[in-house]
Chains A and B, each alone.
Chain A
Amino acid sequence: MDWGSIFSNAMASALGPDAIVYALAAIGLNVHFGYTGLLNFGQAGFMAVAAYGLAASVATWGLPFWVGIAIGFGAALLLALLLGVPTLRLRADYLAIATIASAEILRLVFGSVTLSDWFGGSNGRQQFANTFYDMNPYSSRLDFGLFSFSANDAWVFTVGWFLVALSCLAVWSLMRSPWGRVLKSIREDEDAVRSLGKNVFSYKMQALILGGMFGALAGFMLAIKQQSVIPTDYATDITFFAYTALLLGGAGRVLGPVIGAIIFWFLMTFLGGFFSSAASIDLIPDVVMSDIQASLVRFILVGAGLMALMIFRPQGIFGDRREIAIDGR
């Protein structure tokens, strides 16, 4: 078994474009769920409208790349408003249902035959990020010794981690301010906040928009890194993997989603590589499972790991045990 390549693949995945996309999506969910208590199960929808806003603008309508980015952000803003106005006055679980439903509706609309002239149906849209790659300063592979990135991946890697750092800085500066205090208070008890003269609806809307903007960044990075958007990339599992990353790192902590995304992708790739090579060299006999089946064991293990985390360390890696203890009172 080639431990070296399993490990270096896992490292490349943990620090590469995959982790960046999930870190950004999870930072958005952290603003929604970790700080404000909004149960947004439709982060995939925010990612999809941004990615398709960019891809269709450039590939279908021939607009410049940066106009496409602006349209993508605009679409995410519009989605936040459309979702928020009817649901933010209701209890948290209604928002969860409304967001998961609208993310699915968006995915089906983007994949629909009727609109395939715009969005390309199930084939999606390709080759819309040339402007981005034209700016690439790297001309050859970027070598980190243990693993290396192609020139294009290296550019995504550089811009991506810069965006993650910028997002963390924004979240940190917002959440230590009185504005962030209002969000955290809404998470604890919105009636109490209302009784003190704060417009709770407005704050929830601001939080929904802000988290949606981080989701839009994640959607852009996902679309750009593969120069392609296809509807299946924006299915609900991306939302739930982002939640896994968030809970792993610790909700309500600035660096929680980032560390969570890195660990999540390291484990996913490491376990996937380990099980498929174990099956291919017959360490796991074919009678037990084929190598295709073996590569899926990682999902079971990650799920089991998440359960263990919830039982033994519910606050995540960065969380404060004292905070969790309060819930038990």
Chain B
Amino acid sequence: MDVETSAKGREALASVPNTPGAPKPDPIVVGDGITRTFGGLTAVDVEHIEIQRGVITALIGPNGAGKTTLFNLLTGFDKPDAGDWSFNGNRLAGLPAFKVARLGMVRTFQLTKVLSKLTVIENMRLGATGQRGEHFWLSMLPPLWRAQEQANTERADDLLRRFKLDAKREDFAGSLSGGQRKLLEMARALMVDPELIMLDEPMAGVNPALKQSLLGHVKSLREEGRTVLFVEHDMDMVRDISDWVIVMAQGKIVAEGRPEQIMADPAVIDAYLGAHHDADLSELDEARIEAEATAELDQEAKND
């Protein structure tokens, strides 16, 4: 599948209309009527969402648009008030987070969650699924899990080399820099061998040099035939690597489309920058202040 899947996925997107909640030819995730309220605030209110298989989809929107909340809901880290969604045809509503991950839908976190007091390689080994040594009784009998552990370690070492963390193999993960932690988290998620990898702000706090290599890594995920969904504020990254962009504002999906279309969409620009983003604010202010002052003077004149 691999390269083929992603090429096919991208081709298929060409015929998808640019309407919020547009149906995709081969969706890996389909969601309906997902709402989540915190007290009186509706954080997420998504009528319909579909994520195309084998491509990189970006989820953008201003702060507080509900992107991370939607991430939490889809992956079982938070429970919605209502809604139904599925991954590869499996219903996920009500499923705990660990079962969602086992199905092949793995996420990372906006604030990286490395296991500080474990070494980098131990962080990686943890990611492997179906480990016999993780059963209580079997764990006391090393011969039963040593071969599997060896295979997992080799896979982990390959990933560490790919993400250029092999020099840090034996260091505590807590001693890594912010960017290296992002890399480790992404590499660790790959140990699960997910079909869909969801990255929550992979570029936040990463220096420009590392950013380029991170971009390359995200693209390589697509080349492997994985589906990527990421939340990001960095518009350069969105334009550079995403095949499809979903825009959220105030909990709703307000627009969808290919990145170059989205960047030109007035609804998006409004949501992101405000309706008056291209007007000179000082002019606006002057006009308003003048109007207010005139009104005040008139009022005074009347009172006298």
Contacts and interface: CB of A to CB of B under 8 A. Distances in A.
Main secondary structure of the interface of A (DSSP, over half): helix
A170 interface: yes
B189 interface: yes
Nearest to B108: A195
Contacts of B118: 181, 184-185, 188
Contacts of A238: none
B116 A174 contact: no
A17 interface: no
Interface in B208-229: none
B140 A195 contact: no
Given A180-B139, A181-B122, A182-B126, A195 B133 contact: no
B188 interface: yes
Contacts of B123: 185
Range, interface on chain B: 35 or more
Contacts of A130: none
Interface string A192-223: 11111111100000100010000000000000
A178 B116 contact: no
Given A177-B140, A180-B139, A326 B175 contact: yes
Contacts of B172: 322-323, 326
B139 A192 contact: no
B260 interface: no
A237 interface: no
Contact of A178 (B75, B115, B134, B174): B134
Given A177-B145, A182-B126, A189-B115, A199 B98 contact: yes
Interface in A301-329: 322-323, 326-327, 329
A198 B131 CA distance: 10
B277 interface: no
Contacts of B113: 189, 191-192, 195
A179 B115 contact: no
B25 interface: no
Given A189-B115, A192-B114, A196-B189, A179 B135 contact: yes
A173 interface: yes
B161 interface: no
B139 A184 contact: no
A200 B116 CA distance: 18
Interface string B182-197: 0000001101100000
Contacts of B96: 194, 199
B142 A192 contact: no
Interface centre among A191, A198, A199, A327 (most CB of B within 10 A): A198
B117 interface: yes
B127 interface: yes
Nearest to B115: A188
Given A184-B117, A194-B77, A196-B126, A179 B175 contact: no
A206 B136 CA distance: 8
Nearest to B72: A191
A196 to B, nearest CB: 5
Given A173-B140, A188-B116, A323-B172, A179 B134 contact: yes
B98 A197 contact: yes
A185 B77 CA distance: 18
A131 B109 CA distance: 57
B90 interface: no
Contacts of A200: 98
Nearest to B99: A197
Interface centre among A178, A188, A195, A206 (most CB of B within 10 A): A195
Nearest to A200: B98
Interface in B124-163: 125-127, 129, 131-136, 139-140, 142, 145, 149
B71 to A, nearest CB: 11
A194 B149 CA distance: 20
Nearest to A207: B136
Contacts of B125: 178, 181
A191 B106 contact: no
Contacts of A174: 136, 139-140
A1 B59 CA distance: 78
A177 B102 CA distance: 21
B190 to A, nearest CB: 11
Interface string A64-100: 0000000000000000000000000000000000000
A198 B98 contact: yes
B136 A185 contact: no
A175 to B, nearest CB: 9
A178 B133 contact: yes
Nearest to B142: A177
A327 B132 CA distance: 31
Contact of B101 (A170, A182, A194, A323): A194
Given A184-B115, A188-B117, A192-B114, A197 B122 contact: no
Interface of A: 170, 173-174, 177-182, 184-185, 187-189, 191-200, 206, 210, 322-323, 326-327, 329
Given A177-B139, A195-B109, A196-B188, 16 more contacts: A170-B140, A178-B125, A178-B131, A178-B132, A178-B139, A179-B135, A184-B117, A191-B97, A191-B109, A192-B114, A194-B77, A195-B75, A197-B101, A197-B129, A326-B116, A326-B175
18 contacts: A170-B140, A174-B139, A178-B131, A180-B139, A185-B115, A185-B126, A188-B117, A191-B109, A191-B113, A192-B113, A195-B109, A195-B189, A196-B191, A197-B106, A199-B96, A200-B98, A326-B175, A329-B175
Closest 8 CB pairs of A and B: A178-B133, A326-B174, A179-B139, A177-B139, A197-B101, A192-B113, A188-B115, A197-B102
